[in-house]
Amino acid sequence: MLTYFNSGKRRYFEQPIYEKMRPCWEFQAVVQGAIGRLSADGNDESEPSERTLWLSPPGSSHGWTGLPGQAAAIVVFHFRYIPEVLHQAIPARGCSIKLSAGDCTRLRRLARQVRVYWESPAPGMMLCYEHALMELSLLMYESWCDSQPPASKRVHERVQGALSWFSEHMRENPGQEEVARAVHVSPAHLRRLFHESLQNAPKEVFDQLRFQRAMQLITDTDQSVGDIALACGFEEQSSFTRAFKRRFGASPSKLRSGVKIYN
């Protein structure tokens, strides 16, 4: 679900965006001119860049700067969640990619489409927002994966196979041994692949997939909490509700009734 959108000309050097925490996934692109992403931990390049798309995860704390005396054209989208395949492919702290002139044109067009519904809500807006999320995610995913070394690509492909198989069989609540067997590796090798590709253990990643699917089903469908629990591999609704509340600080029913929670 789209939670924030903006686009247009900005003078970030004269009017910088100071560091603050983003509660949702942020796609921010500069399609003309140059801007730079800033964070207090010093992990980001402060030198402004042209034709760049940044993806920042929930909880990321950063700001934006630019070049003195120069305006830049930007597009910004915030989403509550992103597709599982993209989430698992990128580094935990987020990433950035370079854009072609065609990519910039594509993003400008996407921003115009979204603005129509953002300013005048209508029944088609959810479809438009989902389309925008898929366009941005595909652009980021393909560019990011293409930039990785060949060895890393092979590891990502094997891990992606495990993620896809788990997602398809999530309702059955498969264990790590079952996932490893499905992708023809040992459980120990599966753990090594996950640590190399995602810097995380398989269980932690699989749990993230469960809750990401749960969040999507709760916010975007009318399925009962019990049905969602089963779809995410929980045998009982009560255990799902407790786990969900531990992770997000609110129950599924409170989320549906409008309580804001951020992953």
Confidence of residue 261 (pLDDT cuts 50, 70, 90): very low
Confidence of residue 248 (pLDDT cuts 50, 70, 90): confident
Q: Mean pLDDT over all residues of the chain? A: 89
Gap between the Cα atoms of 171 and 165, Å rounded? 11
Gap between the Cα atoms of 184 and 228, Å rounded? 30
The pLDDT value given to residue 165: 95
- The 10s digit of each residue's pLDDT in 110-124 is 999 999 999 999 988
- CA-wise closest residue to 213 among 167, 178, 158: 167
- CA-wise closest residue to 185 among 154, 146, 208: 154
The pLDDT value given to residue 221: 87
- The 10s digit of each residue's pLDDT in 118-154 is 999 998 899 999 999 999 999 998 898 777 776 666 7
- The 10s digit of each residue's pLDDT in 17-57 is 988 888 899 999 999 999 999 876 544 456 899 999 999 99
Q: Mean pLDDT over residues 197-207, rounded?
A: 85
Q: Mean pLDDT over residues 74-103, rounded?
A: 90
Residue 235 is given by DSSP the state S
Q: Which residue has the higher pLDDT, 238 or 216?
A: 238
The pLDDT value given to residue 247: 83
Domain 2-146, CATH homologous superfamily name and number: Regulatory protein AraC (2.60.120.280)
Q: Mean pLDDT over residues 69-78, rounded?
A: 97
Q: Mean pLDDT over residues 166-176, rounded?
A: 95
Percent residues over pLDDT 90 in the chain: 62
Confidence of residue 89 (pLDDT cuts 50, 70, 90): confident
Tokens, residue 214: 């749960």
Q: What are phi and psi of 183, to 5 degrees?
A: -105, 10
Please tell me the least confidently modeled range out of 25-34, 175-184, 191-200, 229-238. Answer: 191-200
Fold category of 150-256 in CATH: Arc Repressor Mutant, subunit A (1.10.10)
The pLDDT value given to residue 260: 43
Question: For the chain, what is the largest distance between any 2 Cα atoms, rounded to a whole number of angstroms?
Answer: 60
The pLDDT value given to residue 150: 65
Confidence of residue 198 (pLDDT cuts 50, 70, 90): confident
Tokens, residue 64: 């934006």
Angle between helices 101-119 and 125-146 (to 10 degrees): 160
Instruction: Tell me the CA distances in angstroms from 230 to 118, 207, 250, one per residue in order.
Output: 34, 14, 19
Task: Give the domain ranges of the chain.
Answer: 2-146, 150-256
Gap between the Cα atoms of 257 and 28, Å rounded? 29
The pTM for the full model equals 0.62
